[in-house]
Structure 1
Amino acid sequence: MTSTPNSLFRHYLDSLIQRGTTRASLTEEARDVLRTWYVTAKKGSRVHSPSSPSPRPEPQPTKTPPPSTNPELFPEERKPSSSITLPEGTMEDKLQYLRDLAQNWKPARDLNSLRDTMVFATGNPHTQLMLIGEAPGYYEEVQREPFVGRAGEKLNQILKAMGLSRDMVYISNIVKFRPSLPNQRTNNRAPTPEEIEACLPIIMHEIQVIQPKMIIALGGTAAVGLLGEQGSVSSMRGRFHDLNGIPVRVTYHPSYLLRSDNPREKRKVWEDMLAVMERMGMPVSEKQRGYFLPRE
Protein backbone atom coordinates (compact mmCIF):
# COMPACT_ATOMS: atom_id res chain seq x y z
CA MET A 1 0.00 0.00 0.00
CA THR A 2 1.43 3.42 -0.97
CA SER A 3 1.25 6.01 1.78
CA THR A 4 -0.14 9.47 1.13
CA PRO A 5 0.66 12.71 2.95
CA ASN A 6 -2.84 12.72 4.41
CA SER A 7 -2.56 9.15 5.73
CA LEU A 8 0.88 9.81 7.19
CA PHE A 9 -0.43 12.89 8.95
CA ARG A 10 -3.46 11.00 10.28
CA HIS A 11 -1.19 8.23 11.54
CA TYR A 12 1.03 10.79 13.29
CA LEU A 13 -2.00 12.34 15.01
CA ASP A 14 -3.23 8.87 16.00
CA SER A 15 0.14 8.12 17.57
CA LEU A 16 -0.04 11.34 19.59
CA ILE A 17 -3.54 10.46 20.80
CA GLN A 18 -2.41 6.98 21.82
CA ARG A 19 0.34 8.55 23.93
CA GLY A 20 -2.17 10.84 25.66
CA THR A 21 -1.19 14.06 23.86
CA THR A 22 -4.13 16.47 23.61
CA ARG A 23 -2.39 19.51 22.08
CA ALA A 24 0.24 19.89 19.39
CA SER A 25 2.00 23.05 18.21
CA LEU A 26 2.35 23.83 14.50
CA THR A 27 5.02 25.81 12.72
CA GLU A 28 3.96 28.28 10.05
CA GLU A 29 5.37 25.93 7.40
CA ALA A 30 3.21 23.09 8.75
CA ARG A 31 0.18 25.38 8.65
CA ASP A 32 0.89 26.13 5.01
CA VAL A 33 1.06 22.41 4.23
CA LEU A 34 -2.29 21.82 5.91
CA ARG A 35 -3.80 24.74 4.01
CA THR A 36 -2.56 23.17 0.77
CA TRP A 37 -4.22 19.85 1.60
CA TYR A 38 -7.44 21.61 2.63
CA VAL A 39 -7.65 23.64 -0.55
CA THR A 40 -6.94 20.56 -2.69
CA ALA A 41 -9.58 18.49 -0.90
CA LYS A 42 -12.10 21.33 -1.07
CA LYS A 43 -11.64 21.75 -4.81
CA GLY A 44 -11.89 18.03 -5.40
CA SER A 45 -15.23 17.74 -3.61
CA ARG A 46 -16.85 20.88 -5.03
CA VAL A 47 -19.29 20.34 -7.93
CA HIS A 48 -20.49 23.29 -10.05
CA SER A 49 -23.36 23.30 -12.49
CA PRO A 50 -22.75 24.74 -15.97
CA SER A 51 -24.78 27.83 -15.09
CA SER A 52 -22.93 28.47 -11.87
CA PRO A 53 -20.34 31.25 -11.88
CA SER A 54 -16.75 30.17 -11.71
CA PRO A 55 -15.43 30.12 -8.16
CA ARG A 56 -12.90 32.68 -7.08
CA PRO A 57 -9.41 31.17 -7.26
CA GLU A 58 -8.10 30.11 -3.88
CA PRO A 59 -4.76 31.64 -2.83
CA GLN A 60 -2.02 29.06 -3.11
CA PRO A 61 0.82 28.87 -0.59
CA THR A 62 4.23 29.25 -2.17
CA LYS A 63 6.17 27.14 0.35
CA THR A 64 7.14 23.58 -0.49
CA PRO A 65 5.92 20.81 1.85
CA PRO A 66 8.65 19.44 4.14
CA PRO A 67 10.38 16.14 3.25
CA SER A 68 8.24 14.17 5.73
CA THR A 69 5.24 14.45 3.37
CA ASN A 70 6.94 12.36 0.69
CA PRO A 71 4.28 9.82 -0.39
CA GLU A 72 6.97 7.17 -0.87
CA LEU A 73 8.26 7.64 2.67
CA PHE A 74 7.05 4.20 3.67
CA PRO A 75 7.72 1.91 0.68
CA GLU A 76 6.22 -1.55 0.73
CA GLU A 77 9.61 -3.30 0.60
CA ARG A 78 11.22 -3.56 4.06
CA LYS A 79 14.64 -5.02 3.32
CA PRO A 80 17.91 -4.29 5.15
CA SER A 81 19.74 -1.45 3.42
CA SER A 82 22.66 -2.42 1.23
CA SER A 83 24.50 0.66 2.55
CA ILE A 84 25.31 -1.29 5.73
CA THR A 85 27.65 -4.26 5.54
CA LEU A 86 27.72 -6.35 8.69
CA PRO A 87 31.14 -7.63 9.77
CA GLU A 88 32.10 -11.25 10.17
CA GLY A 89 31.96 -12.61 13.69
CA THR A 90 29.51 -13.51 16.41
CA MET A 91 26.04 -12.13 16.88
CA GLU A 92 27.40 -9.94 19.67
CA ASP A 93 30.09 -8.58 17.34
CA LYS A 94 27.48 -7.63 14.75
CA LEU A 95 25.20 -5.98 17.30
CA GLN A 96 28.11 -4.01 18.72
CA TYR A 97 28.91 -2.85 15.19
CA LEU A 98 25.31 -1.67 14.76
CA ARG A 99 25.38 0.01 18.18
CA ASP A 100 28.51 1.95 17.23
CA LEU A 101 27.03 2.77 13.82
CA ALA A 102 23.77 4.01 15.32
CA GLN A 103 25.60 6.39 17.66
CA ASN A 104 26.61 8.62 14.75
CA TRP A 105 24.11 7.53 12.12
CA LYS A 106 24.24 10.39 9.64
CA PRO A 107 20.68 10.17 8.24
CA ALA A 108 19.34 10.59 11.78
CA ARG A 109 21.85 13.23 12.83
CA ASP A 110 21.23 15.32 9.72
CA LEU A 111 17.57 15.77 10.71
CA ASN A 112 18.55 17.88 13.76
CA SER A 113 15.28 16.82 15.41
CA LEU A 114 16.56 14.04 17.67
CA ARG A 115 18.45 14.33 20.94
CA ASP A 116 22.04 13.19 21.40
CA THR A 117 21.81 10.25 23.80
CA MET A 118 21.58 6.97 21.94
CA VAL A 119 19.42 4.17 23.40
CA PHE A 120 20.06 0.93 21.55
CA ALA A 121 18.47 -2.30 22.86
CA THR A 122 18.30 -4.67 25.80
CA GLY A 123 17.71 -8.33 26.48
CA ASN A 124 18.90 -11.61 25.05
CA PRO A 125 19.93 -11.58 21.37
CA HIS A 126 19.78 -15.41 21.31
CA THR A 127 16.02 -15.36 21.51
CA GLN A 128 13.02 -16.30 19.42
CA LEU A 129 10.96 -13.26 20.40
CA MET A 130 11.77 -9.64 19.56
CA LEU A 131 9.70 -6.68 20.78
CA ILE A 132 9.99 -3.35 18.98
CA GLY A 133 8.67 0.03 20.11
CA GLU A 134 8.89 3.49 18.62
CA ALA A 135 11.55 5.60 20.40
CA PRO A 136 13.04 6.20 23.85
CA GLY A 137 11.41 8.64 26.25
CA TYR A 138 12.73 10.57 29.21
CA TYR A 139 13.41 7.60 31.52
CA GLU A 140 14.85 5.52 28.72
CA GLU A 141 17.23 8.34 27.84
CA VAL A 142 18.37 8.66 31.46
CA GLN A 143 19.01 4.94 31.89
CA ARG A 144 19.98 4.30 28.24
CA GLU A 145 17.73 1.27 28.04
CA PRO A 146 14.42 0.77 26.20
CA PHE A 147 11.18 0.48 28.17
CA VAL A 148 12.32 1.34 31.71
CA GLY A 149 9.69 3.92 32.69
CA ARG A 150 6.08 3.21 33.63
CA ALA A 151 5.46 1.74 30.18
CA GLY A 152 8.46 -0.52 30.78
CA GLU A 153 6.99 -1.70 34.07
CA LYS A 154 3.76 -2.53 32.27
CA LEU A 155 5.70 -4.43 29.61
CA ASN A 156 7.48 -6.40 32.35
CA GLN A 157 4.08 -7.38 33.76
CA ILE A 158 2.93 -8.57 30.33
CA LEU A 159 6.07 -10.64 29.87
CA LYS A 160 5.70 -12.13 33.35
CA ALA A 161 2.12 -13.15 32.55
CA MET A 162 3.49 -14.91 29.46
CA GLY A 163 6.02 -16.77 31.61
CA LEU A 164 8.90 -14.65 30.29
CA SER A 165 11.24 -11.94 31.55
CA ARG A 166 13.27 -9.16 29.97
CA ASP A 167 16.41 -11.29 29.86
CA MET A 168 14.58 -13.93 27.81
CA VAL A 169 13.56 -11.61 24.95
CA TYR A 170 15.16 -8.85 22.87
CA ILE A 171 13.68 -5.35 23.21
CA SER A 172 14.46 -2.48 20.86
CA ASN A 173 13.03 0.66 19.24
CA ILE A 174 12.90 1.80 15.64
CA VAL A 175 14.30 5.23 16.51
CA LYS A 176 17.36 5.12 18.75
CA PHE A 177 17.20 8.71 19.99
CA ARG A 178 14.55 10.58 21.95
CA PRO A 179 12.64 12.93 19.64
CA SER A 180 13.28 16.49 20.74
CA LEU A 181 10.93 19.30 21.71
CA PRO A 182 11.52 22.98 22.55
CA ASN A 183 12.34 23.48 26.25
CA GLN A 184 12.11 19.72 26.72
CA ARG A 185 12.19 18.17 30.17
CA THR A 186 10.22 15.00 30.87
CA ASN A 187 7.75 15.52 28.03
CA ASN A 188 8.03 13.23 25.02
CA ARG A 189 6.65 13.02 21.52
CA ALA A 190 6.25 10.27 18.94
CA PRO A 191 8.84 10.19 16.15
CA THR A 192 7.83 11.62 12.80
CA PRO A 193 7.68 9.49 9.64
CA GLU A 194 10.86 11.20 8.46
CA GLU A 195 12.69 10.26 11.68
CA ILE A 196 11.47 6.67 11.44
CA GLU A 197 12.58 6.35 7.82
CA ALA A 198 16.02 7.75 8.63
CA CYS A 199 16.56 5.21 11.43
CA LEU A 200 14.91 2.23 9.75
CA PRO A 201 18.12 0.65 8.32
CA ILE A 202 19.52 0.10 11.82
CA ILE A 203 16.51 -1.78 13.19
CA MET A 204 16.18 -3.80 9.98
CA HIS A 205 19.75 -5.00 10.39
CA GLU A 206 19.11 -5.76 14.05
CA ILE A 207 16.29 -8.02 12.91
CA GLN A 208 18.62 -9.60 10.35
CA VAL A 209 21.16 -10.35 13.10
CA ILE A 210 18.69 -11.59 15.73
CA GLN A 211 16.59 -13.64 13.25
CA PRO A 212 13.67 -13.96 15.68
CA LYS A 213 10.85 -16.39 15.04
CA MET A 214 8.37 -13.72 16.09
CA ILE A 215 8.22 -9.91 16.33
CA ILE A 216 5.76 -7.95 18.45
CA ALA A 217 5.25 -4.38 17.25
CA LEU A 218 4.30 -2.26 20.25
CA GLY A 219 2.07 0.58 19.07
CA GLY A 220 1.03 2.06 15.76
CA THR A 221 4.26 3.94 15.11
CA ALA A 222 6.33 0.77 15.34
CA ALA A 223 3.83 -1.17 13.23
CA VAL A 224 3.69 1.38 10.41
CA GLY A 225 7.45 1.83 10.41
CA LEU A 226 8.20 -1.88 10.26
CA LEU A 227 5.49 -3.00 7.88
CA GLY A 228 5.08 0.03 5.64
CA GLU A 229 1.30 -0.26 6.02
CA GLN A 230 -1.10 2.46 7.04
CA GLY A 231 -3.77 2.00 9.67
CA SER A 232 -4.55 2.24 13.34
CA VAL A 233 -3.50 -0.37 15.87
CA SER A 234 -7.11 -1.53 16.13
CA SER A 235 -7.21 -2.21 12.38
CA MET A 236 -3.79 -3.91 12.27
CA ARG A 237 -3.97 -6.09 15.38
CA GLY A 238 -5.77 -9.42 15.62
CA ARG A 239 -3.75 -11.13 12.88
CA PHE A 240 -0.19 -11.85 11.85
CA HIS A 241 1.68 -9.74 9.33
CA ASP A 242 4.80 -10.73 7.41
CA LEU A 243 8.17 -8.98 7.50
CA ASN A 244 10.67 -10.70 5.25
CA GLY A 245 9.34 -14.10 6.31
CA ILE A 246 9.05 -13.26 10.03
CA PRO A 247 5.53 -13.11 11.53
CA VAL A 248 4.73 -9.79 13.18
CA ARG A 249 1.96 -9.27 15.70
CA VAL A 250 0.77 -5.69 16.20
CA THR A 251 -0.61 -4.69 19.57
CA TYR A 252 -1.14 -1.58 21.67
CA HIS A 253 1.82 0.19 23.25
CA PRO A 254 2.07 -0.47 27.01
CA SER A 255 1.55 3.26 27.64
CA TYR A 256 -1.94 2.86 26.16
CA LEU A 257 -2.81 0.43 28.95
CA LEU A 258 -1.56 2.91 31.53
CA ARG A 259 -4.26 5.31 30.39
CA SER A 260 -7.04 2.74 30.25
CA ASP A 261 -8.40 0.68 33.14
CA ASN A 262 -10.90 -0.98 30.81
CA PRO A 263 -10.50 -4.78 31.07
CA ARG A 264 -11.66 -5.08 27.46
CA GLU A 265 -8.64 -3.14 26.23
CA LYS A 266 -6.31 -5.20 28.41
CA ARG A 267 -7.93 -8.33 27.04
CA LYS A 268 -7.19 -7.21 23.47
CA VAL A 269 -3.48 -6.95 24.26
CA TRP A 270 -3.56 -10.26 26.07
CA GLU A 271 -5.28 -11.97 23.15
CA ASP A 272 -2.40 -10.80 20.96
CA MET A 273 0.05 -12.27 23.47
CA LEU A 274 -1.88 -15.55 23.57
CA ALA A 275 -1.73 -15.73 19.77
CA VAL A 276 2.03 -15.16 19.91
CA MET A 277 2.47 -17.86 22.54
CA GLU A 278 0.43 -20.36 20.55
CA ARG A 279 2.24 -19.55 17.29
CA MET A 280 5.59 -20.06 19.03
CA GLY A 281 4.51 -23.31 20.67
CA MET A 282 4.72 -21.93 24.21
CA PRO A 283 2.60 -23.60 26.91
CA VAL A 284 -0.66 -21.78 27.67
CA SER A 285 -2.58 -22.65 30.84
CA GLU A 286 -6.32 -22.32 31.34
CA LYS A 287 -5.59 -19.60 33.88
CA GLN A 288 -3.68 -17.63 31.27
CA ARG A 289 -6.48 -18.07 28.76
CA GLY A 290 -8.91 -16.55 31.22
CA TYR A 291 -7.02 -13.33 31.97
CA PHE A 292 -9.26 -10.22 31.68
CA LEU A 293 -12.31 -12.14 30.55
CA PRO A 294 -15.64 -10.86 31.95
CA ARG A 295 -16.71 -12.64 35.10
CA GLU A 296 -19.94 -14.57 34.82
Structure 2
Amino acid sequence: MAQLPKCIQIRGARVHNLKNVDVDVPLHALVGVCGLSGSGKSSLALGVLYAEGSRRYLEALSAYTRRRLTQASEADVDSIEHIPAALALHQRPAVPGVRSTFGTMSELLNVLRLMMSRLASHACPNGHLVPPSTNVALDKELTCPVCGATFIPPAAQDFSFNSTGACPSCDGTGVVRTVNQASLVPDPSLTIDEGAVAPWNTLMWSIMKDVCRAMGVRTDVPFNQLTEHEKNIVLHGPAEKKHILYTSEKRSQVTELNFTFYNANATVENALEKSKTNAA
Protein backbone atom coordinates (compact mmCIF):
# COMPACT_ATOMS: atom_id res chain seq x y z
CA MET A 1 0.00 0.00 0.00
CA ALA A 2 1.42 3.38 -1.02
CA GLN A 3 2.33 5.75 1.79
CA LEU A 4 0.56 9.09 2.07
CA PRO A 5 2.77 12.12 1.33
CA LYS A 6 4.18 13.83 4.39
CA CYS A 7 5.17 17.15 2.85
CA ILE A 8 4.56 19.58 0.00
CA GLN A 9 7.58 19.46 -2.30
CA ILE A 10 8.40 22.80 -3.94
CA ARG A 11 11.19 22.87 -6.50
CA GLY A 12 12.58 25.92 -8.30
CA ALA A 13 10.31 28.63 -6.87
CA ARG A 14 10.92 31.99 -8.58
CA VAL A 15 8.19 34.27 -7.24
CA HIS A 16 9.25 37.84 -6.35
CA ASN A 17 12.15 37.53 -3.88
CA LEU A 18 12.45 33.75 -4.22
CA LYS A 19 15.33 32.72 -6.48
CA ASN A 20 15.10 29.03 -7.47
CA VAL A 21 14.16 27.97 -3.95
CA ASP A 22 13.64 24.29 -3.10
CA VAL A 23 11.68 23.63 0.09
CA ASP A 24 9.61 20.87 1.70
CA VAL A 25 6.61 22.07 3.74
CA PRO A 26 5.24 19.51 6.25
CA LEU A 27 1.65 18.39 5.75
CA HIS A 28 -0.88 17.86 8.59
CA ALA A 29 1.01 20.26 10.86
CA LEU A 30 0.97 23.89 11.96
CA VAL A 31 3.83 25.49 10.02
CA GLY A 32 5.19 29.00 10.51
CA VAL A 33 7.25 30.93 7.96
CA CYS A 34 9.72 33.39 9.48
CA GLY A 35 12.66 35.42 8.26
CA LEU A 36 14.04 38.88 7.60
CA SER A 37 12.03 41.51 5.80
CA GLY A 38 12.29 40.91 2.08
CA SER A 39 13.43 37.32 2.43
CA GLY A 40 10.35 35.98 0.60
CA LYS A 41 8.02 34.87 3.40
CA SER A 42 4.89 36.25 1.77
CA SER A 43 6.09 35.13 -1.65
CA LEU A 44 6.35 31.55 -0.39
CA ALA A 45 3.10 31.53 1.60
CA LEU A 46 0.88 33.51 -0.78
CA GLY A 47 2.67 33.63 -4.11
CA VAL A 48 3.46 29.91 -4.20
CA LEU A 49 1.49 27.82 -1.69
CA TYR A 50 -1.80 29.73 -1.75
CA ALA A 51 -1.66 30.67 -5.43
CA GLU A 52 -1.00 27.14 -6.64
CA GLY A 53 -3.22 25.40 -4.07
CA SER A 54 -6.24 27.59 -4.78
CA ARG A 55 -5.65 27.54 -8.55
CA ARG A 56 -5.62 23.76 -8.74
CA TYR A 57 -8.72 23.52 -6.56
CA LEU A 58 -10.66 26.06 -8.63
CA GLU A 59 -9.76 24.22 -11.83
CA ALA A 60 -11.86 21.32 -10.54
CA LEU A 61 -14.97 23.51 -10.16
CA SER A 62 -17.54 24.42 -12.76
CA ALA A 63 -16.94 27.33 -15.14
CA TYR A 64 -19.90 29.15 -13.58
CA THR A 65 -18.34 28.97 -10.12
CA ARG A 66 -14.90 30.01 -11.34
CA ARG A 67 -16.36 33.18 -12.84
CA ARG A 68 -17.62 34.23 -9.41
CA LEU A 69 -14.30 33.69 -7.61
CA THR A 70 -11.00 35.51 -7.87
CA GLN A 71 -8.40 33.17 -9.32
CA ALA A 72 -4.69 33.48 -8.62
CA SER A 73 -2.20 33.23 -11.46
CA GLU A 74 -0.05 30.14 -11.87
CA ALA A 75 3.00 30.21 -9.60
CA ASP A 76 6.42 30.46 -11.28
CA VAL A 77 7.92 27.17 -10.11
CA ASP A 78 9.49 24.12 -11.71
CA SER A 79 7.20 21.74 -9.81
CA ILE A 80 4.94 21.46 -6.76
CA GLU A 81 3.92 18.04 -5.50
CA HIS A 82 1.21 17.01 -3.00
CA ILE A 83 -0.27 20.49 -2.52
CA PRO A 84 -3.84 20.52 -1.10
CA ALA A 85 -6.53 23.15 -1.63
CA ALA A 86 -5.57 26.45 0.00
CA LEU A 87 -7.47 29.21 1.75
CA ALA A 88 -5.96 32.62 2.59
CA LEU A 89 -7.42 34.60 5.50
CA HIS A 90 -7.00 38.36 5.73
CA GLN A 91 -6.62 40.08 9.08
CA ARG A 92 -10.00 41.74 8.54
CA PRO A 93 -11.85 39.43 6.17
CA ALA A 94 -14.88 40.89 4.45
CA VAL A 95 -18.02 38.84 5.11
CA PRO A 96 -20.54 39.04 2.23
CA GLY A 97 -23.45 38.05 4.49
CA VAL A 98 -24.46 36.16 7.61
CA ARG A 99 -25.09 33.02 5.56
CA SER A 100 -21.92 33.17 3.45
CA THR A 101 -19.09 30.77 4.30
CA PHE A 102 -16.12 29.35 2.47
CA GLY A 103 -18.23 26.27 1.79
CA THR A 104 -21.07 28.24 0.19
CA MET A 105 -18.81 30.55 -1.85
CA SER A 106 -16.73 27.68 -3.22
CA GLU A 107 -19.78 25.39 -3.60
CA LEU A 108 -17.91 22.76 -1.61
CA LEU A 109 -20.99 22.28 0.56
CA ASN A 110 -23.00 21.39 -2.53
CA VAL A 111 -20.75 18.39 -3.07
CA LEU A 112 -20.84 17.40 0.61
CA ARG A 113 -24.64 17.63 0.72
CA LEU A 114 -24.89 15.45 -2.36
CA MET A 115 -22.51 12.90 -0.83
CA MET A 116 -24.45 12.84 2.44
CA SER A 117 -27.76 12.27 0.68
CA ARG A 118 -26.59 9.79 -1.97
CA LEU A 119 -23.83 7.81 -0.27
CA ALA A 120 -24.87 7.80 3.38
CA SER A 121 -26.61 4.97 5.21
CA HIS A 122 -29.90 6.57 6.24
CA ALA A 123 -31.71 5.60 9.43
CA CYS A 124 -35.25 4.25 9.22
CA PRO A 125 -37.94 5.49 11.68
CA ASN A 126 -36.93 2.66 14.04
CA GLY A 127 -33.24 3.58 14.00
CA HIS A 128 -31.89 0.87 11.68
CA LEU A 129 -29.31 1.93 9.08
CA VAL A 130 -30.24 1.28 5.45
CA PRO A 131 -27.32 0.86 3.01
CA PRO A 132 -26.96 3.37 0.13
CA SER A 133 -29.29 2.73 -2.79
CA THR A 134 -30.06 4.21 -6.22
CA ASN A 135 -33.60 4.77 -4.93
CA VAL A 136 -32.28 7.86 -3.15
CA ALA A 137 -31.26 9.50 -6.43
CA LEU A 138 -34.64 8.54 -7.91
CA ASP A 139 -36.54 10.12 -4.98
CA LYS A 140 -38.10 6.76 -4.12
CA GLU A 141 -38.93 5.30 -0.75
CA LEU A 142 -36.39 3.14 1.07
CA THR A 143 -37.38 -0.08 2.78
CA CYS A 144 -35.57 -1.12 5.94
CA PRO A 145 -34.17 -4.66 5.57
CA VAL A 146 -34.46 -5.19 9.34
CA CYS A 147 -37.97 -4.04 10.27
CA GLY A 148 -39.57 -3.46 6.86
CA ALA A 149 -40.42 0.19 7.56
CA THR A 150 -40.59 2.47 4.52
CA PHE A 151 -39.47 6.10 4.57
CA ILE A 152 -38.31 8.95 2.35
CA PRO A 153 -34.58 9.58 2.89
CA PRO A 154 -33.33 13.17 3.25
CA ALA A 155 -32.43 14.86 -0.04
CA ALA A 156 -29.41 17.09 -0.64
CA GLN A 157 -31.35 20.26 0.15
CA ASP A 158 -32.29 18.85 3.55
CA PHE A 159 -28.64 19.19 4.59
CA SER A 160 -28.53 22.90 3.73
CA PHE A 161 -28.58 25.41 6.57
CA ASN A 162 -29.92 28.04 4.14
CA SER A 163 -33.06 26.28 2.91
CA THR A 164 -34.98 23.12 3.79
CA GLY A 165 -32.51 21.94 6.40
CA ALA A 166 -32.31 25.28 8.21
CA CYS A 167 -32.66 25.22 11.97
CA PRO A 168 -36.22 26.30 12.87
CA SER A 169 -34.95 28.30 15.85
CA CYS A 170 -32.24 30.44 14.24
CA ASP A 171 -33.28 30.04 10.57
CA GLY A 172 -29.79 28.84 9.71
CA THR A 173 -27.93 31.94 10.91
CA GLY A 174 -26.55 30.42 14.11
CA VAL A 175 -27.92 33.35 16.15
CA VAL A 176 -31.14 33.44 18.19
CA ARG A 177 -32.31 36.87 19.31
CA THR A 178 -34.34 36.98 22.49
CA VAL A 179 -35.72 39.85 24.54
CA ASN A 180 -33.64 40.86 27.56
CA GLN A 181 -36.30 40.80 30.27
CA ALA A 182 -34.27 43.02 32.61
CA SER A 183 -34.19 45.80 30.01
CA LEU A 184 -37.97 45.97 29.66
CA VAL A 185 -38.41 47.65 33.04
CA PRO A 186 -34.98 49.07 33.93
CA ASP A 187 -36.30 51.16 36.86
CA PRO A 188 -39.24 49.44 38.59
CA SER A 189 -39.59 52.34 41.05
CA LEU A 190 -41.18 54.40 38.27
CA THR A 191 -44.83 54.25 37.31
CA ILE A 192 -45.90 53.25 33.81
CA ASP A 193 -47.02 56.85 33.24
CA GLU A 194 -43.49 57.97 34.21
CA GLY A 195 -41.93 55.60 31.65
CA ALA A 196 -41.24 52.42 33.63
CA VAL A 197 -41.80 50.24 30.55
CA ALA A 198 -38.90 51.12 28.23
CA PRO A 199 -40.39 49.85 24.91
CA TRP A 200 -43.42 52.11 25.39
CA ASN A 201 -41.37 55.30 25.73
CA THR A 202 -41.10 55.92 21.98
CA LEU A 203 -43.62 58.18 20.25
CA MET A 204 -45.02 55.28 18.25
CA TRP A 205 -45.74 53.09 21.29
CA SER A 206 -46.56 55.68 23.96
CA ILE A 207 -50.28 55.06 23.45
CA MET A 208 -49.79 51.58 24.95
CA LYS A 209 -49.87 53.25 28.37
CA ASP A 210 -53.52 54.18 27.74
CA VAL A 211 -54.32 50.75 26.32
CA CYS A 212 -52.62 49.14 29.32
CA ARG A 213 -54.87 51.16 31.60
CA ALA A 214 -57.87 49.80 29.69
CA MET A 215 -56.48 46.29 30.33
CA GLY A 216 -56.98 46.90 34.06
CA VAL A 217 -53.42 47.83 35.01
CA ARG A 218 -52.78 50.80 37.30
CA THR A 219 -50.39 53.13 35.48
CA ASP A 220 -49.99 55.66 38.32
CA VAL A 221 -48.48 53.15 40.78
CA PRO A 222 -44.74 52.26 40.85
CA PHE A 223 -44.16 49.12 38.81
CA ASN A 224 -42.64 47.25 41.76
CA GLN A 225 -45.88 47.80 43.69
CA LEU A 226 -48.15 46.32 41.03
CA THR A 227 -49.70 42.91 41.60
CA GLU A 228 -48.19 39.89 39.85
CA HIS A 229 -51.29 39.75 37.67
CA GLU A 230 -50.78 43.35 36.56
CA LYS A 231 -47.07 42.78 35.88
CA ASN A 232 -47.91 39.70 33.83
CA ILE A 233 -50.32 41.74 31.69
CA VAL A 234 -47.63 44.37 31.07
CA LEU A 235 -44.95 41.83 30.13
CA HIS A 236 -46.93 38.94 28.62
CA GLY A 237 -50.54 40.08 28.27
CA PRO A 238 -52.78 38.95 25.38
CA ALA A 239 -53.20 41.00 22.20
CA GLU A 240 -56.71 42.29 22.92
CA LYS A 241 -58.37 45.20 21.13
CA LYS A 242 -59.50 47.97 23.50
CA HIS A 243 -61.64 51.09 23.09
CA ILE A 244 -59.83 54.02 24.70
CA LEU A 245 -60.13 57.78 25.09
CA TYR A 246 -56.81 59.20 23.94
CA THR A 247 -55.80 62.71 24.99
CA SER A 248 -53.25 64.45 22.77
CA GLU A 249 -50.52 66.12 24.82
CA LYS A 250 -50.08 68.98 22.33
CA ARG A 251 -53.69 69.83 21.54
CA SER A 252 -55.39 68.54 24.73
CA GLN A 253 -57.92 66.97 22.41
CA VAL A 254 -59.77 63.79 23.44
CA THR A 255 -60.19 61.17 20.71
CA GLU A 256 -61.94 57.79 20.79
CA LEU A 257 -59.70 55.06 19.38
CA ASN A 258 -59.63 51.28 19.04
CA PHE A 259 -56.15 49.89 19.69
CA THR A 260 -54.73 46.39 20.08
CA PHE A 261 -52.67 45.89 23.23
CA TYR A 262 -49.03 44.95 22.66
CA ASN A 263 -47.26 43.80 25.81
CA ALA A 264 -43.65 44.85 26.42
CA ASN A 265 -42.19 41.68 24.91
CA ALA A 266 -44.44 41.85 21.84
CA THR A 267 -43.47 45.50 21.30
CA VAL A 268 -39.77 44.61 21.08
CA GLU A 269 -40.43 41.54 18.91
CA ASN A 270 -42.59 43.64 16.56
CA ALA A 271 -39.80 46.21 16.16
CA LEU A 272 -37.26 43.43 15.55
CA GLU A 273 -39.45 41.84 12.88
CA LYS A 274 -39.82 45.18 11.11
CA SER A 275 -36.05 45.69 11.12
CA LYS A 276 -35.60 42.25 9.52
CA THR A 277 -38.15 43.12 6.83
CA ASN A 278 -36.49 46.46 6.08
CA ALA A 279 -33.06 44.81 5.91
CA ALA A 280 -34.33 42.23 3.43
Specify the TM-score bucket, using the shorter chain as the normaliser. Answer: under 0.3
Question: Which one has the largest radius of gyration?
Answer: 2
Kindly indicate whether structure 1 or structure 2 has the higher relative contact order, using CA contacts under 8 Å at least 6 residues apart: 1
Under a length normalisation based on structure 1, what TM-score does the superposition of the two structures give? 0.22
